[in-house]
Amino acid sequence: MDETSDTSQENQLIEEAYAATLDPTRLPAFERFWEAYIDAQLQNNPNGVDLDNTPVNAHIMIALDILSRLKIVQEEESLAQDMVNSHYGFGFIVENNGTIIAANDTAALFLKHETQLQNLAVDESSLKSMLLWLKKNRRHVEEQLKLFDVYLHNKTKNCWLAAPIKIGVTAKGSVKKHYLITAVDSAIDLKLDLHIIDYFKLTSAETDVTNLLCNGLKPEEVAQKRGVKISAVRTQIVRIKEKTGARDIPDIVRIVTTMAIRSKAVKSQLGRLEQLRQQRYGKVFESAREMSLTLGDGRNLQYFEQGGVDGVAILQIHSLISGVQFLPEHGKMLGPKYRMISPARPGYGKSDPKRISSLNSRIDSCVEDMRQLLDHLGVNKAYILTGWSGAIAQRFALKYPKRCLGLVLSGAVPVWESDYMASLQPRYRNMIKTSIHAPKAVPYLVRIAKALIDSGKAHLFISGLDAKDSIDKKALGNSVMYKLVEQRFKFLVEQGVNAFVDDLPLIHTDWTQEARRLSLPVTIVIGSENRDQPHEAIERYKRFVTHANIKIIRGAGTYQNLTHFADVVAAIRAMST
């Protein structure tokens, strides 16, 4: 390659790098240019890429710095979501330009994935009033809260309350402002608060009168509404005052509405707590139960459980390209007989990171985390289930053989030869190739991918994966399956990118020397249409682990652990017979 051509290629790559930094949807284009550039450098120097001495390096480092600065924005959004989640009832947060940045569960059902206030089914007059108020630069004390009449679909009247809030992670010099918008009930219905009726010992007629008074009707209007004489209503009002201790009608309204509002707040909060309890500690084996453990060194370890709480344990060790989430129906497949424990390894999900430079030391540290988790749960023995993290699973089995019932390698085996590079999916091939020949650039590649996922466009990241095989396209065509795959990728980048970067050598390192020392039962589960590894890899592993059984799942592809989980469970069950 002549110098002019080389310079032109570098300039084009630099342009693509900045384009992808500012617009993560340009990731696929940059990846193509990057891999071609690495291949050209290797052609000139087969011994490796001296990235430090190329013009590209400086620009990659600048682009990486830009992406690192985006962290403050991500922290701001996370804080906003935590804030709105703690608000009872309907609530969402907007920026002063109308961009919706966070919504709690109740509001999310109404918003239906809309990202702009302008896109909601709100009448034009109300919308203009809200946007005008949001954009005010100066705000007097009396303007700190603002009530708006909002007509949904131009017919249903609601009352929304907007309030300025402070999110303390805002970047220096930013003029961005945030507002909490929440729905305010303008009607009271005591029939939904039976405990208030019971507390004051109100009769049915007195309850109806109280409701109507609290909703703004005068005694004459109450009489007309109920079809009774005004004298009857006045007698009931006297009894209501006696029972509630109110001085007059406004005092009745004050006492009852205050109690009703407080009651609604408490019930809503209890509902949210119950929802969290079900997610974390529910006994139903279909649902994944999210929990956490404080390890001996003070780090937090997030983990999930699925299946029966008293079942035989399966320790599921996730890899850098698969999360820990499984479908509820997978819990049914586990049933009460099996208890699948899926820890989020350091730096993934909500598990605290642990920076260790040596690959072997990182593996040993992960093994000890797993051991502490099993000790904490009182699990003496477990089946080990994994895919691309076979190196960790093998190390655990070798260090704690008496605690392992068997090892199931589903979808991949921990072997590597340079020829396997061609069999990897394009995006992973690019990552692995960079990890081997230009490791300093790996964080940049991963951070662009993270930016794309964080931007709410995970679907573009997933569509960029190699799903050319009809079996994988079919799997991703299932909306439930697709959503789960999307959740998995969000899980992988939730803590950051360092764990992902540190994990890459697990794939391009050969672990067969450790594999040959395994004596416990080993089963390799591989889909007939799974193209993640060449068949030679499976055969090579079998030469080192001669007692390993191979189970072929007909019709299963890359997502075999999700689409054919019943076959994986059957492979575990077969090990005990």
- Minimal CA–CA distance to 408: which of 338, 349, 351, 469? 338
pLDDT at 461 exceeding the cut of 70: yes
Q: Specify burial of residue 408 (Cβ count, 10 A radius: 0-12, 13-18, 19+).
A: buried
Q: How confident is the model at residue 113 (pLDDT cuts 50, 70, 90)?
A: confident
The span from the CA of 389 to the CA of 463, in Å, is 24
pLDDT at 232 exceeding the cut of 90: yes
At residue 500, the pLDDT reads 84
The span from the CA of 449 to the CA of 140, in Å, is 43
Tell me what percent of the residues of the chain surpass a pLDDT of 90: 32
Alpha helices per DSSP H over 70-120: 71-85, 105-111
pLDDT at 514 exceeding the cut of 90: yes
pLDDT at 280 exceeding the cut of 70: no
Q: Specify burial of residue 378 (Cβ count, 10 A radius: 0-12, 13-18, 19+).
A: exposed
Q: How confident is the model at residue 465 (pLDDT cuts 50, 70, 90)?
A: low
| Average pLDDT taken over every residue of the chain | 83
- Minimal CA–CA distance to 387: which of 353, 413, 419, 361? 413
Over the stretch 42-69, which tens digit does the pLDDT of each residue have?
887 777 777 777 777 777 777 776 666 5
The span from the CA of 312 to the CA of 335, in Å, is 11
Evaluate whether 483 touches 560 at the Cβ level (below 8 Å). Answer: no
CA angle 258, 264, 270 (to 5 degrees): 135
The span from the CA of 572 to the CA of 522, in Å, is 10
pLDDT at 358 exceeding the cut of 70: yes
At residue 281, the pLDDT reads 44
Q: Around 12, how many Cα atoms within 13 Å sit in the side-chain half-sphere?
A: 15
Give the pair of three-digit tokens for residue 306.
Answer: 């699925």
pLDDT at 103 exceeding the cut of 80: yes
Over the stretch 434-459, which tens digit does the pLDDT of each residue have?
888 888 888 888 878 877 777 777 77
pLDDT at 378 exceeding the cut of 80: yes
Mean pLDDT value of segment 382-387: 96
At residue 287, the pLDDT reads 62
**Where is pLDDT greater, at 71 or 318?**
318
pLDDT at 3 exceeding the cut of 60: no
Q: How confident is the model at residue 76 (pLDDT cuts 50, 70, 90)?
A: low
pLDDT at 70 exceeding the cut of 80: no
Over the stretch 210-228, which tens digit does the pLDDT of each residue have?
989 988 889 999 999 999 9
The span from the CA of 30 to the CA of 13, in Å, is 7
Instruction: Give the DSSP H/E element, type plus range, for residue 124.
Output: helix 124-134
pLDDT at 517 exceeding the cut of 50: yes
3-state secondary structure of 147: strand
CA angle 554, 539, 398 (to 5 degrees): 105
pLDDT at 233 exceeding the cut of 50: yes
**Where is pLDDT greater, at 266 or 14?**
14
At residue 261, the pLDDT reads 74
At residue 44, the pLDDT reads 79
Evaluate whether 420 touches 428 at the Cβ level (below 8 Å). Answer: no
**Where is pLDDT greater, at 283 or 389?**
389
At residue 41, the pLDDT reads 83
At residue 142, the pLDDT reads 59
At residue 550, the pLDDT reads 95
The span from the CA of 17 to the CA of 448, in Å, is 9
pLDDT at 282 exceeding the cut of 60: no
Mean pLDDT value of segment 142-153: 79
pLDDT at 466 exceeding the cut of 60: no
Evaluate whether 342 touches 289 at the Cβ level (below 8 Å). Answer: no
Give the pair of three-digit tokens for residue 372.
Answer: 């502490």
Residue 58 to residues 52, 210, 301, 436, Cα–Cα distance (Å): 8, 73, 37, 19
Give the pair of three-digit tokens for residue 186.
Answer: 């303008």
150-154, 218-222, 304-308: least confident range: 150-154
**Where is pLDDT greater, at 463 or 123?**
123
pLDDT at 1 exceeding the cut of 50: no
At residue 229, the pLDDT reads 93
At residue 276, the pLDDT reads 55
- Minimal CA–CA distance to 297: which of 248, 337, 340, 354? 354
Domains of the chain: 3-71 (no CATH), 72-184 (3.30.450.20), 190-279 (1.10.10.10), 289-418+509-575 (3.40.50.1820)
At residue 552, the pLDDT reads 95
pLDDT at 268 exceeding the cut of 70: no
- Of the chain, the end-to-end C-alpha distance in Å amounts to 61
pLDDT at 284 exceeding the cut of 50: no
CB atoms within 10 A of CB 300: 13
- Model's pTM, two decimal places? 0.63
Q: Is the sign of the CA dihedral 274, 280, 283, 287 positive or negative?
A: positive
For helices 55-69 and 442-454, give the axis angle rounded to 10 degrees: 40
Among 29-38, 124-133, 440-449, top mean pLDDT goes to 124-133
**Where is pLDDT greater, at 267 or 305?**
305
Mean pLDDT value of segment 181-202: 80
